[in-house]
Structure 1
Amino acid sequence: MADGMALTARRKRLPPEARREQIVDAAVCYFAEVGLAGTTRDLAKRAGITQALLYQYFGSKAELLEAVFARVYLDRMSPRWPGLITDRSRSLRERMLTFYAEYTGAIFSYEWLRIFMAAGLAGEALNRRYLDHVRDVLLAPLLEEIRFAARPDAQPEMEDLWNLHGGIIYLGIRRHIYHLPTPDDVMPVIERAVDRFLAGFAIGH
């Protein structure tokens, strides 16, 4: 019995970075399930650690949520997307479809969408920071590419692009938030949405 307990103790002695990653992984799952009002005490129980140990790695719940933000939002943002969006050697339609195929593949998950919705309802600044990042790094250059391709008398505004973007994201919300049926392959739906958008501004393939 003593040997078994000693073995268990040795298994639980993780290196600091591994322990930190374990806590962040547990926090992502926990906050996705219960929302951001969940407590660090309950999170620690779920993770099989003490609350005191959790606070050795994260000085506050806000600091822990920053780590969750980085894991769920920023780590899924590909550094190649801005270059893809502005690569005029490819058609605008092809660039948009490739981007949205990769983007939805990255964010259409239970954890991402649940935490995103929970943070929005809680009024967390995390969502605003993420949406500002999406606007500045992805949608603003995409809007410039669309305006370049559109006629001078058919210039879209940022709100038009947000409408397209939001409609695509709603596919994931229906699946993971409302648990409503959605196509297993969302790309045909996205393809039709992009084609309607481009046609609305007289942009051909």
Structure 2
Amino acid sequence: MNPSDKKPKRLSPEERKRRLLEKAIDYFSEEGFEGGTRELARQLGITQPLIYRYFSTKADLINEVYHAVYVSQWQESWAQNLQKRDRPVRDRLIEFYDGYTNAIFNRHWMRIFFFAGLKGLDINTRYIRRVSDHLLRPICREMRAELGFDVEKPLRQAEFDLVWMMHGLVFYQGIREHIYKVPYKVNHEFSIQIAVDMYITKSREVIEAALKDPAADLAPAASFIPEQLVQVAPDRI
């Protein structure tokens, strides 16, 4: 028998779902969330009902996309290593951002993040809350500890804003590369070092002033709310 006459291998339901999810990630990263499942099915060369055999609703599909692109990339070791005080904060921050940017600086991650914001989905809100609670607040405590400030006093808005500025400067390099598509390779190592050094340089001044001022605004309380399903409008036919 000619090998070419063999029937294609029948995929298991798990493998078919995985492939559908991979194609959906490609699709949403290119077309955004305005695209409906009918167009997705057309591009995949399958029927729309087949998509709903594996994902009960478009919201279900988008939640799977969120988990695959964002949650599965999250590493618990990030927060753990940031809080190991046997090394200077600067070394810990540079190591963290090197690993963090390797995980998020890709076309799927960046484009889906921005498309979700434009569509009004809460993917951005959920992820930012995760970053705030599990990464940036611990960084603020570690910075206080290294500089000799009381880590038990409530976090002030000014020092929280400062750590967000550092994080935003690093994140912006991914925007330049994957959204603006600058015609040259972004030097992430250089950008990370600059962002971290700017943060460390200003931290003592900002923390000291904030703790001395009884009227200084407190940073919003950490949420630590379990993530809910993405809220999505009914799919368009």
**TM-score, reference length from structure 2:** 0.77
- Which residue does the alignment assign to 1:93? 90
Partners of 2:197 and 2:170 lie apart in 1 by 13
Specify which of 35, 51, 54 is matched with residue 51 of structure 2. Answer: 54
The 5-angstrom pairing of residues 1-205 of structure 1 reads 7=7, 10-11=8-9, 13-150=10-147, 152=149, 157-181=159-183, 183-202=185-204
Q: Aligned partner of 2:132: which letter?
A: R
Q: Which moved more, 1:47-56 or 1:28-37?
A: 47-56
- Structure 1's consecutive aligned runs of 4 or more residues displaced over 6 angstroms after TM superposition are 3-6
Partners of 2:193 and 2:177 lie apart in 1 by 18
Deviation of the 1:178 alpha carbon? 1.1
Residues 168, 45 of structure 1: CA spacing in aligned structure 2 closer, same or farther, 3 A cutoff? same
User: Whose helix proportion is higher, 1 or 2?
Assistant: 1
Unaligned runs of 5+ in 1: none
Q: Tell me, what secondary structure is at the counterpart of 1:157?
A: helix
Q: Describe the superposition over 1:52-74 as per-residue Cα deviations: whole angstroms up to 9, x where unpaired.
A: 11101101101000000001111
Deviation of the 1:147 alpha carbon? 1.8
Q: Tell me, what secondary structure is at the counterpart of 1:193?
A: helix
Q: Is contact 1:113-1:172 (8 Å) kept?
A: yes
Partners of 2:184 and 2:120 lie apart in 1 by 28
Q: Is contact 1:139-1:161 (8 Å) kept?
A: yes
Q: Alignment length, in residue pairs? A: 197
Partners of 1:79 and 1:180 lie apart in 2 by 32
Q: Tell me, what secondary structure is at the counterpart of 1:201?
A: helix
Unaligned runs of 5+ in 2: 151-155, 206-237
Q: Is contact 1:171-1:182 (8 Å) kept?
A: no
RMSD of Structure 2 on Structure 1 (CA):
2.0
Identity fraction in percent: 39
Q: Aligned partner of 1:110: which letter?
A: R
Partners of 2:68 and 2:145 lie apart in 1 by 34
Partners of 1:169 and 1:76 lie apart in 2 by 16
Partners of 1:190 and 1:130 lie apart in 2 by 21
Deviation of the 1:198 alpha carbon? 0.3
